[in-house]
Amino acid sequence: MAGRQRTPVRVPLLHRDHRRVRTDRRRAVPADQQAVIHLLQATVDDVLDAGDRLLGRVDGAGAEQLVDVADRDAADRRRADADRRRTLAGRLALRLLACAVGGRPPSAAASLTVDRTCDRCGAPHGRPRLAGASASTSTSGDLVLVAVADPAARVGVDVERLPEALWDGFDEYALHPAERAGEGASSPGDADIARRLQIWTDKEAVLKSVGVGLRTAPASFRVAATAVAGGGPSADGSGWRPVAECDDPALRTVWTATVDVGRAAAGSVAAAGPSPVRSWTIGDVSGQG
């Protein structure tokens, strides 16, 4: 990105023995660490391959058995095979992370109840709900990003592959007037696309955090462009940025942070306040790390 660089959320933010949270030891995260936001980022292929290895299957058959009927139906409704695989990987990744955080074996993934009932129409395409936790998922291209946290965290995530160009009208729809004229706005080519896409993922994560999605116009609010050190309930909150301008009171309490998902993509996590973040790998959550 051009202009001032946003601070990625990086581990170590928690200083503890990795072995204490290995899924094959089936230990739950200690109660005094429940405010932690747990993030898993992976590729679609890595998630599906992990499912196959767990059950000794091939070609995604293992992943299909580690999710429930609703997840399989959601994947099967996708016409393109790449879309079907991406949907299946996103569903499985959330289940594996939830099992790891809860101290369950990855083989129990299909038994988790994940409610995706839409608040508006009742169809099974709403944000995921887990008993005793807040959760969020996002997929784009070959990337998967999922999060699990304490219910009070109201976590939201978004990931987007960097496109060759943004669609016509993007700035008017997605960017606050101050963001259209902000630092880096005149940068050419990929740098400006990356800057604008990062703003988009910030806002998507914020709107997922409060549970309104794109029913709130992204251009109606602005997220601070630089991190505010020490501004929140966590001592490790230096990478987080608040919603700086908005008309909706629900958005004023939300913070966001950049997730490092590589140079060819943008990623963000949002929550009710700055929180420590623990990053997991697909090997961690599948017991194959």
Kindly state the DSSP code that residue 79 receives in the 8-state scheme: S
pLDDT digit string (tens) for 199-237?
Answer: 999 999 999 999 887 788 999 999 998 766 544 333 345
Output the pLDDT for position 120: 77
Average pLDDT over residues 265-279: 93
Q: Is 284 exposed, middle or buried (0-12, 13-18, 19+ CB in 10 A)?
A: buried
pLDDT digit string (tens) for 80-93?
Answer: 999 999 999 999 99
Phi-psi domain of 3 (left: phi exceeds 0; alpha: psi -120 through 50; beta: other): left
Give long-range contacts, CB 8 A cutoff, 24+ apart: 67-72: 67/91, 67/92, 67/95, 67/109, 67/110, 68/110, 68/114, 70/114, 70/116, 70/124, 71/114
Q: What is the pTM of this model?
A: 0.84
Mean pLDDT, all residues of the chain: 84
Output the pLDDT for position 187: 60
SS3 state of residue 145: strand
Percent of the chain with pLDDT over 90: 69
Rg (the chain; Cα; Å): 18
In order of their start, the domains of the chain are 19-28+40-131 (no CATH), 155-271 (3.90.470.20)
Do 126 and 108 form a contact (C-beta atoms < 8 A)?
A: no
Give the Å distances, CA to CA, from 6 to 99, 101, 198, 238.
31, 28, 9, 11
